[in-house]
Structure 1
Amino acid sequence: MGLQQGKTAPDFELKDQDGEKFHLASELKKGPVVLFFYPADFTPGCTAEACSFRDSYEQFTDAGAIVAGISTDSANSHRKFASKYRLPFTLLSDTGGAVARKFAVGRRLMGLLPGRETFVIDRNGMVRLNFNSMGPKGHVRTALQIVRELKGD
């Protein structure tokens, strides 16, 4: 079970699929951030989840949110994944899993598989949602609901 609602999100910096730095504190200055941790590029469930975020991406950006996916895959793998499925958002490479540990994202299947959790972080760095489900469905709908509520704040 990951970092809980009401806690301050830990700051981090990771490289994206293009080798650019993504610094959470800098991104929060622009608006709320949706981080979805997922097990691996190109797997059926992760592809479904990423494509679901892709299909709702405009709704997130219209509400002022930044969307980023995080897995332990390399930047090169992320670049291929984003290209193949036309993913418009940032994919971050957490190769050692340090950021997932900071967010207390659990592992599944006796510790063999990285967890699937989605966090919505408001502009103040507060976790407003932690959605923990190995199923890829529900992450987008639940995160979008919270982002829209934040827009009304």
Structure 2
Amino acid sequence: MRKEVLGLLSIVLLYSCQEVKKEVQNEPVETEPVTEEISVDYNTLGMETNAIPKGLQIGDVAPVVSMTTSDNKTVTLKDFYEKQPIVVIFYRGYWCPICNQYLSEFAEKAKSIEDAGAKIIAISSESYENSTKTIANNKIDFTVISDLDGSIMKAFDVKFEVTKEYQDMIQEKLNASISETNANKEGVLPVPATFIIDKSGKIVYKQFDPNYKNRATIEDILAHLPK
């Protein structure tokens, strides 16, 4: 009798173990979401790490900013996007070889963006005196704005302080002073970002990369222009 009871218990336990095993096998495995982090060497890029900019996000409303044009007229960002979508491009300065290469190639194809109904506005921290060099060097035929006090860069969250080491390097290799080139005479620069703003004032596209070698392509911009 005892053997029969033990045998019955063994069968029950075996069956239970098999059922538990099935449940475990069929139960979905919960894992922590994998987040791919892009490592950025801010020091190599000349960025002080006390306040790293992130850029405005898609869906954000464009900031309320005023701009002074080269002929000393005051306009607002809204004055532009109320009439048509705008493509806002930030660049570093006439002294930057990467900026010149990009702007030169961009200027050659800019008409395709304008033909699609959008206006292009390029913004930098350099003074208007220096932006004329950028315009001439790259045969630019779209609006260029000098951010005289850095307020536009700050509003778009693209502004950063440049390390002394990087400023010295630019001085040595390119014979240019970032601070002296800038309208406000400060050692600051924008992340060379691109934003598309629709006629309601909403940001519908963003390209933002602290690595100044990475820029928005004409194709990407055209693909994201509001219809």
Q: Same fold (TM over 0.5)?
A: yes
Rounded Cα–Cα distance in structure 2 between residues aligned with 1:25 and 1:137 = 25
Rounded Cα–Cα distance in structure 2 between residues aligned with 1:3 and 1:47 = 25
Instruction: Tell me the residue number matched to 1:47.
Output: 100
SS state at 1:56 partner: helix
Q: Which has the higher strand share?
A: 1
Instruction: Tell me the residue number matched to 1:34.
Output: 87
Give per-residue Cα distances to partners, 1:113-148, cap 9 Å, x unaligned: 43111000000000001101222443433222211x
SS state at 1:39 partner: coil
2:201 is matched with which residue: 114, 122, 125? 125
Q: Which runs of 5+ in 1 are unaligned?
A: none
Query: Judging changes above 3 Å, is the alpha-carbon distance between structure 1 residues 88 and 136 closer, same or farther for their aligned structure 2 residues?
Result: farther
Higher relative contact order (CA 8 A, sep 6+): 1
Rounded Cα–Cα distance in structure 1 between residues aligned with 2:108 and 2:205 = 20
SS state at 1:61 partner: helix
Q: Does 1:141 align with 2:194?
A: no
TM-score (norm 1): 0.86
Contact 1:108–1:115, Cα closer than 8 Å, also in 2: no
Larger Rg: 2
Query: Judging changes above 3 Å, is the alpha-carbon distance between structure 1 residues 37 and 119 closer, same or farther for their aligned structure 2 residues?
Result: same
1:69-88 equivalences in 2 (<5 Å) = 69-88=122-141
Q: Which has the higher helix share?
A: 2
1:36-115 equivalences in 2 (<5 Å) = 36-107=89-160, 113-115=189-191
Letter in 1 for 2:224: I
Give per-residue Cα distances to partners, 1:61-102, cap 9 Å, x unaligned: 111100011111011111232123210011111132111111
Kindly tell me the number of residue pairs found equivalent between the two proteins.
149
Query: Judging changes above 3 Å, is the alpha-carbon distance between structure 1 residues 78 and 21 closer, same or farther for their aligned structure 2 residues?
Result: farther
Q: Which runs of 5+ in 2 are unaligned?
A: 1-53, 164-186
Contact 1:46–1:136, Cα closer than 8 Å, also in 2: no
Query: Judging changes above 3 Å, is the alpha-carbon distance between structure 1 residues 55 and 46 closer, same or farther for their aligned structure 2 residues?
Result: same
Query: Judging changes above 3 Å, is the alpha-carbon distance between structure 1 residues 64 and 7 closer, same or farther for their aligned structure 2 residues?
Result: same
Rounded Cα–Cα distance in structure 2 between residues aligned with 1:72 and 1:45 = 16
Query: Judging changes above 3 Å, is the alpha-carbon distance between structure 1 residues 89 and 141 closer, same or farther for their aligned structure 2 residues?
Result: same
Rounded Cα–Cα distance in structure 1 between residues aligned with 2:70 and 2:128 = 4
Query: Judging changes above 3 Å, is the alpha-carbon distance between structure 1 residues 23 and 42 closer, same or farther for their aligned structure 2 residues?
Result: same
Instruction: Tell me the residue number matched to 2:38.
Output: none
Structural RMSD (CA) = 2.1
Letter in 1 for 2:216: G
